[in-house]
A and B are shown apart, each in its own frame.
Chain A
Amino acid sequence: MIPLSHYLIVSATMFVIGSVGVLSRRNAIIVFLSIELMLNSVNLTLMSFSSFLGDVTGQMLAFFVMTVAAAEAAVGLAIIIALFRRKQTVNLDEINIMKW
């Protein structure tokens, strides 16, 4: 039988890889993909606790995370499209109008 800690280690590793992506990549789309990766690793944690504890709340939370992720993807991609129309780039370093 797989112990709970193994699931948690996989999830933690994925989360950290995602955070490295967010911190180091400058392509807005890939940063966005990394955020999805982090959300999913959190989902894996929730799901493994839910199954190991026999409590459905974790699965519910994962379900709601997915809904939020869908909403977030729609709005985020709309923002990226709007930015691309204005600046012709998705490089986050060049999107600095609001930087003071």
Chain B
Amino acid sequence: MTSLRRALIALAVLALALGLASLALILSSEHVSPRGLAATLTLLAGWGFVGTGLFAWDRRPGNRTGPLLTAIGFTWFFRALEASNNSVVFTIGALGLTLPYAILIHLLVTFPSGRLETRLQKSLVGVAYFITVLMQGAWLFFADPAREGCESCPQNAVMIGDAGIGEAISTGQALLAIPLIAATVVAVHRRWRRSSAGERRALTPVLATGGLAFVLLLTQLTVGQAGAEDVAVVPFVAAFAVFACLPFAFLIGLLRSRIGRDEEIRSALTAENVQLTAELRKMVEELRASRARIVEAGYAERRRVERDLHDGAQQRLVALTMNLRLARDRLAADPEGTADLLDEALEELAAATSELRELARGIHPAVLSDRGLDAAIGGLADRSPVPVDVLETPDGRLPESIESTSYFVIAEALTNVARYADAARATVRVAQTNGVVEIEVRDDGVGGADPEGGSGLRGLADRVAALEGQFEVRGEAGEGTTVRARIPCG
């Protein structure tokens, strides 16, 4: 059982006990009349408000309607103390006579959230508590029950002064309460008119019952102020009866406001949806950009291959053709010159062969497919102008795409080491652990590489990202550079 539910059960037991105590007080009262009606209405209102309040509190712990309803119920038992024949208890009870109405205004203008949000809500509720707590407290010091028509009431235990002041305060309370209640009724009506059909389902039972109770109370106060105390009893009893029904109206309204809660959930879902959509859109943008870069890198690679072929092997072969043709023409007339031409042709041929080999390796290293990453990395290390220590390579073969990407990461990183790092040594490590291949190329050079700077590094990052891996280049100036890629592997 949750601690909230335990507390709610304790409150229910307390309300039960206070209700019985109130019943005893009222039935034994010498000044309450008629006792039966007063006791019935007190129990109906007290237990009704506490019961529905606790139920609402339990069902909607984050909503303040439950606590407010419960509070009204307890004030009802508080004001029942006024039925006591003991002077002190009677006086304490008199302090709480008007309090339920203030909490009811609080509840009514803030339903269904129970939270004071607008300035109008705060003003109405502030004035209500001012009348029912501060003014009521002040009134108590000057109130004379006998003078107010209750001969059988006990003495006011805290009476300190002129009963005339008490009457004046009482009149002041009524004169403030009339516009307050009128404003509350207007505010509630306006609120209802502006609500959507779904909201009205929750608001109607509450606002109609509450509004009716206050209209009746307003009538009673107005008629009472006009001096017709006897006539005022009728609307007072009616208001009291409507008041007793109010907690059930709140309960119906609160349960119906589930619709409102659905809307809260829907709006939260919508917000989450919007955020997810934005994230998704960003990811799609990134994917689109990286796809475009990969395609562009493919074209750039082709242009490079074409240029390398054109400027390298092709030029050598053109020169070779011309030299061979010349040698053929000169063969008879100038055998010595022809031998020189042929030597030159052989040199061109060797250079062309070497350039074609390099080019082919740049497109795809055959050794990688034939003998695996370990042999291919060995070749890269051998050809690197900067001494390279190969610290670790995986034992078996890896999927082709991973071997290939690992190879090009290492090749590009070592090329950068040779070109820019001014390093004395470099290390290469490829480790396969927990389904991840981690590739690391580290040098002891000048550092300060910018991962966004070169198309080579960005191309590598895209290649690694295409395999759902991560790529990073680290190295503050003066601390060497570390290129690291992590690629998930089956």
A and B associate in one complex: no
Interface residues of B (CB under 8 A from A): none
Interface residues of A (CB under 8 A from B): none
